[in-house]
A and B are shown apart, each in its own frame.
Chain A
């Protein structure tokens, strides 16, 4: 019997156990998605570098396939305290907070929106209470036909976050979604987020993926964001799990006319992080600004894949990802920008800069522009370089020892991205986190 078959039957058995524990009231339609997604996952299997698979060329997910990760069993009490949540992730007064422990919604740790008109809820409930909206949008942006991990996430879809903004509605304080992985060995979580922002609405949303303890974990997260015309969303995604965690995430956004998405993707700590961020600029005037920051060490692996689809004229995209790569670690950046025929006056800029601190570290950065319109402005750049020794000497000539000098320069390198973080609590938290992580760099 081949190992693949063993795993397939494992997932089938897991799926049956998982589904039998769900109540189907009002969300039978979801059951159909789950079943179809599991079948699709069984066909696709985990991606491998073979089969000419560019998207997974540099990132080996065999440890995930081998890891026999299983979803958290039902009915376990979260062993997480409110203090843990505040310590592990950014926090500020007034934020609405949904907390998930090992993929399951933890109501006791969550704080509902203060304003009744704001719909922020566990997706499992929203699938019934806001069925029309959820059914219309869920799986629409992150389909499970081609993406094995998204298929797996959808097959095991249960809890997650639903954020629904009414037309013209503004949420001043951030909505914080905290996904905590606890100490139970070989647990998988498949959290799902759906954000639907109606016309001219506005919100700031933070997703934090964190761990308590250092057991081997697998997080497989999918986020879908729909921005109707004129909507504005600031989206922060912090993947900060423990060094034994494998994290695969996929975020898909669709932007209508004049909608604006600002995204910051901050990555630190896990054994492997793969994040696919796809933004489709579907309406004229839509624009996105995507920033990313990562630091890797030891044998960590961080892989950011971005895809910007300029599908309409007068659309703008800005991407700036920076990373510090140390030890035997590896950073991958693949940025694809597509300007479709007719998307005149598209304006796309992309840059990825890496600071390489060790001989053993590796950077694979691959920007690509595919342009099928003639009146466009597009640029991209990618670099991987070492610390400037003249700069190190300059600092030493002012009394800083060599370690201090290098630390100051490395922190300066990341500062440029940190400065783009508009949300104070996230900026302060990220500053502290990277300062601590890069102190000895």
Chain B
């Protein structure tokens, strides 16, 4: 579904990602973990097409096509979804109308008629229930004045409504209390199907107790330094990133010496 090869990304001339390789297949759940500033959000933003980031080398294929050549809206219409770490506030843009516009833009891309208002409202109600969200939030301006947790839930609501093929969750867990975390995890688990995939970015393993990853990758300083199964998250929990960093340095030293 997603193949990232040797991806280099810069912001304003500073290289942030320094050669990332990652393959995600349909039906899989991947977790990307790493300390603050290691480039996790840079990776998710580049995949979603944020024009603020410059890809300086590498390639990304999504469902066999060149992802980096697609404008962000085409990526979205092709089923890619990023739940932002810091969702922006959109004053005056009603949440419900915004979601409906998004649903219909995606449907049009797939040669489907716009969804009837009645059907859309039904779908929305269903997903609001699924995410145990305060239904008044959809009548308000998108994210405006929402608490941190409400913003995260709103991202999850959007994900539930848009039903992406590839969902990227950027620190959706931070700012959520344990009940909210469980609800969000349930929502994500309901989305899991053999034909879609989920990439969870987090720096705690807490979220991974509820959404069990098939693979865990550790991103440090713009590189994936280790990949493994679920047990890697537990190892990180006990040793911290310093432990992993030490390992990596030792490995690099051994290679250089050998």
Contacts and interface: CB of A to CB of B under 8 A. Distances in A.
B52 A412 contact: no
Interface string A373-403: 0000000000000001111011111111110
Contacts of B50: 393, 397
Find the residue from A405, A408, A411, A419 having the highest chain B CB count within 10 A.
Answer: A408
Nearest to A401: B73
A398 B76 contact: yes
A364 interface: no
A404 interface: yes
Contacts of B106: 399
Contact of A398 (B52, B71, B91, B158): B158
Interface string A204-241: 00000000000000000000000000000000000000
A394 B88 contact: yes
Contact of B76 (A388, A391, A397, A412): A397
Contacts of A409: 90, 93
Contacts of B141: 412, 415
B90 A391 contact: yes
B244 interface: no
Interface residues of A, number: 25
Given A398-B76, A398-B162, A401-B73, A412 B92 contact: yes
B92 A411 contact: yes
Contacts of B48: 393, 397
A413 interface: yes
Given A389-B52, A393-B50, A408-B98, A399 B91 contact: no
Contacts of B92: 411-416, 419
B224 interface: no
**Prevailing SS type, chain A contact patch:** helix
Contacts, number: 84
Interface magnitude class on chain B? 20 to 34
B93 A399 contact: no
Interface in A393-437: 393-402, 404-405, 408-409, 411-416, 419
A400 B87 CA distance: 16
Interface string B77-92: 1000110100110111
B80 to A, nearest CB: 8
B4 interface: no
Contacts of A395: 90, 98
A397 B71 CA distance: 9
A402 B94 CA distance: 18
Interface in B37-78: 48-52, 71-73, 75-77
Given A388-B88, A391-B88, A408-B98, A397 B93 contact: no
Given A409-B90, A411-B93, 20 more contacts: A388-B88, A389-B51, A390-B88, A393-B72, A394-B84, A394-B87, A394-B88, A395-B98, A397-B49, A397-B73, A397-B81, A398-B76, A398-B162, A399-B102, A402-B71, A405-B73, A408-B93, A411-B92, A415-B141, A419-B92
Interface of A: 388-391, 393-402, 404-405, 408-409, 411-416, 419
Interface of B: 48-52, 71-73, 75-77, 81-82, 84, 87-88, 90-94, 98, 101-102, 105-106, 109, 141, 158, 162
11 contacts: A391-B88, A393-B52, A397-B72, A397-B82, A399-B73, A402-B73, A409-B93, A412-B90, A412-B91, A412-B93, A413-B91
